[in-house]
């Protein structure tokens, strides 16, 4: 496994493999890797000859007062995890290499970037879309592997790829969870043991929402929100639900008429405890409720 820090070097490497008919896959990450990231690497390795993992804590996707400075970083640990997973290259540019001194261009995926997370993190998805297109232009992968954990990010990246005719396929991989149901996340490192135990309720209230819609035919989203908020208050006092939204998984529009809706449903949430902010989601199919 090699560590590459320069954009021109990873571009040359990718060109070389393209000439030799080998498929290059990209797994973009911000490091402090866990089993969720590893599942992406293994799937990428299974479906492609060469796997590049990018490790870059992207400053432009953090807002003022967010956790950019304290975001966990441990390159030596990440290196071993990648090596064990059979990764071929780590691409870890520094900020200067990624953005230079005078970057004027930003990529905005309008409308869908302003919903859900966008309401609480203005500018976040502009930073994400811009860094992802830069990573795609650096690594030039045939496929990019993304986790369902970041559902809105996936919708945005897929739309950007489509809108800008980028020749890369986005592959979405299931969310890896702790035994408790808690979605694995680098930010879980911020949680105390007690907070981590309580945070398991987040995946529970997502399953509850799914159950209410599919098994109980509840059509009133506000009723679902009321019930899950009550469960959260009881089981995880100290956690504040920032949003709990029921949308389609395409343009992230709120589903107004649940009973008449047929297709993929995305329930997403964000919750805060102290300074730690966690997100999670569940995606499932729904058929029209028979009259
Ligand atoms: P991050 O390092 O948090 O920016 O995440 C990098 C990639 O790993 C994104 O595509 C995430 O959706 C994905 N990812 C993060 N957590 C998980 C998880 N628990 N299971 C699967 N994929 C994940």
* Residue the block writes with tokens 């709120």: 254
- Does residue 82 sit in the same domain as residue 217? no
Query: Is 37 an annotated catalytic residue?
Result: yes
- Quote the domain boundaries for residue 211: 186-282
- Burial readout 65-104 (b: 16 or more C-beta within 10 A, e: otherwise): eeeeeebeeeeeebbebbeebebbbbbbbeeeebbeeeee
Residue 279: pLDDT above 80? yes
Summarize pLDDT for 68-92 with one digit per residue, the tens: 999 999 999 999 999 999 999 999 9
| Residues 214 and 122 reside in one and the same domain | no
Q: Are residues 32 and 149 in the same domain?
A: yes
**Looking at the domain assignment, is residue 271 inside a domain?**
yes
Mean pLDDT in the chain?
97
* Higher-pLDDT residue of 134, 287: 134
| Cα–Cα dist 133/172, whole Å | 17
Tell whether the model's pLDDT for residue 222 goes beyond 90: yes
Pairing of strands 263-273, 276-286: antiparallel
d(CA 279, CA 291): 35
Give residue 177's pLDDT. 98
Q: What is the pLDDT of residues 258-277, one digit of tens each?
A: 999 999 999 999 999 999 99
Rounded CA separation 210/74 (Å): 37
> Same domain for 58 and 141?
yes
Domain assignment of residue 138, yes or no:
yes
CA dihedral 145, 129, 67, 201 (to 10 degrees): -50
| Helix locations, 140-192, DSSP H | 151-163
Is the pLDDT at 290 greater than 80, yes or no? no
pLDDT, average across residues 228-242: 97
30 Cβ below 6 A of ligand 1: yes
Question: Model-level pTM?
Answer: 0.98
Cβ–Cβ < 8 Å for 70, 95: no
Same domain flag for 136 and 262: no
Ligand 1 centroid to residue 218 C-alpha, Å: 31
The residue among 141, 173, 205 that closes a domain is 173
By residue count, the chain amounts to: 291
CA-CA distance, 22 to 25, in Å (whole number)?
10
Q: Which of 112, 141, 173 is the last residue of a domain?
A: 173
- What CATH number does residue 160 fall under? 3.40.50.620
Task: Tell me the sheet residues that pair with 170.
Answer: 144
pLDDT digits (tens, 9 = 90+) for 140-155: 999 999 999 999 999 9
Beta-bridged to residue 279, according to DSSP, are 270
Q: For a ligand 1 pocket test, name from 35, 36, 57, 203 the mutation site with the most ligand atoms within 8 angstroms of its C-beta.
A: 36
- Give the tens place of pLDDT for each residue, 89-110: 999 999 999 999 899 999 999 9
C-alpha 81 – ligand 1 centre gap (Å) = 15
Domain of 274: which CATH number?
Answer: 3.30.1300.10
């Amino acid at each position: 496994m090699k560590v590459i820090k320069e954009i021109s070097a990873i571009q040359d490497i990718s060109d070389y493999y393209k000439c030799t008919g080998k498929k290059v896959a990209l797994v973009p990450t911000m490091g402090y890797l866990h089993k969720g990231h590893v599942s992406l690497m293994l799937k990428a390795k299974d479906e492609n000859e060469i796997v590049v993992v990018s490790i870059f804590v992207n400053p432009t996707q953090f807002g003022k007062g967010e956790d950019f400075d304290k975001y966990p970083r441990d390159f030596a640990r990440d290196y071993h995890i990648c090596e064990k997973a059979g990764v071929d290259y780590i691409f870890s540019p520094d900020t200067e290499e990624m953005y230079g001194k005078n970057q004027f261009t930003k990529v905005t995926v309008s409308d869908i970037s302003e919903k859900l997370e966008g309401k609480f993190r203005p500018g976040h998805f502009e930073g994400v879309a811009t860094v992802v297109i830069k990573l795609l232009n650096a690594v030039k992968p045939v496929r990019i592997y993304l986790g369902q954990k970041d559902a809105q990010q996936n919708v945005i990246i897929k739309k950007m790829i489509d809108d800008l005719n980028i020749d890369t396929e986005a592959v979405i991989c299931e969310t890896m969870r702790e035994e408790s149901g808690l979605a694995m996340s680098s930010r879980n490192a911020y949680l105390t043991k007690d907070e981590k135990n309580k945070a398991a309720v987040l995946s529970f209230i997502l399953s509850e929402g799914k159950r209410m819609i599919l098994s109980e035919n509840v059509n009133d989203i506000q009723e679902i929100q009321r019930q899950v908020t009550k469960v959260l208050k009881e089981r995880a006092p100290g956690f504040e639900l920032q949003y709990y939204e029921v949308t389609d998984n395409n343009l992230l529009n709120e589903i107004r008429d649940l009973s008449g809706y047929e297709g993929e449903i995305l329930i997403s949430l964000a919750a805060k405890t102290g300074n730690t902010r966690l997100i999670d989601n569940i995606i499932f199919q729904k058929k029209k409720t028979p009259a």
